[in-house]
């Protein structure tokens, strides 16, 4: 794998590089968000480790720019562990969020997890499915309600696609958090519930397909 490490602290970049290369991967370094965006325009990466607080261009802004042209897994590295920061990151399409100080071994485990999920999503998301007036094109990341294209946030897309791929299966909030968000949200179910609420609102009449399982979670039933 080819991993881009973005952090303005040289010591952190050096430690992460050693672990990335120790596992047989290639590491490329960037000192800030501007350099990271420039590198992503000319090179392809299997994953990006992105610090949040950096000079010139912060991590959130860098991710927003990178995601415009590249569908690459991103793990945020931040000293800020507030729920608001995590939710904002996931709205941008970030795959995981690690709070400093962190264990390099844990970061490598998370890299392996997000790249596997990304590969599975890429290989299994080419089907176009239709449920009454709801049409879902996973490869093109397009969703239509009665012929009208609707715009969802990156996480709403992923949540809907995951529910559809597991149609008829009862999914706990914890499983949704792990498989869609890819991180341990310390048992806070509000993240899933909030996104389900927003997703249902966008699906209009076809919100009926997302069934609430009281005390457990949700399932897609059509």
Q: What is the CATH number of the domain that holds 35?
A: 3.40.50.2300
Among 122, 152, 181, give the residue marking a domain's end.
122
Query: CB-based contacts of 196: which residues, under 8 Å, 6+ apart?
Result: 159, 210, 218
Same domain, 138 and 115: no
CA distance to 3, 91, 136, 152, 197, per residue, from 205 (Å): 43, 24, 15, 16, 13
Same domain, 178 and 206: yes
CA dist., res. 14 & res. 62, Å (int): 21
Same domain, 16 and 108: yes
Residue 186 has pLDDT above 60, yes or no: no
Instruction: Please report how the helices 190-203 and 154-165 are oriented relative to each other, as an axis angle in degrees rounded to 10.
Output: 90
Same domain, 103 and 194: no
CB atoms within 10 A of CB 174: 15
pLDDT score for 202: 95
Write out the residue range of the structural domain in which residue 19 sits: 2-122
Question: The domain spanning residue 212 has which CATH number?
Answer: 1.10.10.10
Share of the chain above pLDDT 90, in %: 57
Residue 188 has pLDDT above 90, yes or no: no
Binned at pLDDT 50, 70 and 90, residue 126 comes out as low
CB contact at 8 A, 135 and 222: no
pLDDT score for 5: 98
């Amino acid at each position: 794998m080819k991993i881009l490490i973005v952090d303005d602290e040289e010591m952190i970049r050096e430690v992460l590089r050693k672990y990335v290369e120790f596992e047989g991967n290639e590491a490329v370094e960037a000192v800030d968000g501007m350099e990271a965006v420039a590198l992503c325009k000319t090179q392809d990466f299997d994953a990006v480790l992105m610090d949040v607080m950096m000079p010139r261009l912060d991590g959130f802004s860098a991710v927003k720019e990178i995601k415009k042209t590249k569908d690459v897994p991103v793990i945020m590295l931040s000293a800020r562990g507030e729920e608001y920061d995590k939710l904002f990151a996931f709205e941008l399409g970030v795959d995981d969020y690690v709070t400093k100080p962190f264990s390099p071994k844990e970061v490598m485990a998370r890299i392996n997890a997000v790249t596997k999920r990304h590969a599975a999503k890429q290989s299994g998301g080419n089907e176009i499915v239709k449920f009454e007036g709801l049409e879902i094109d996973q490869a093109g990341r397009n969703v239509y309600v009665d012929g009208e294209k609707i715009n969802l946030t990156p996480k709403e897309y992923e949540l809907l696609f995951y529910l559809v791929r597991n149609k008829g299966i009862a999914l706990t909030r914890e499983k949704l958090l792990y498989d869609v968000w890819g991180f341990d949200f310390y048992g806070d179910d509000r993240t899933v519930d909030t996104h389900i609420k927003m997703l249902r609102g966008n699906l209009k009449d076809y919100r009926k397909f997302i069934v609430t399982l009281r005390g457990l979670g949700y399932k897609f039933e059509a």
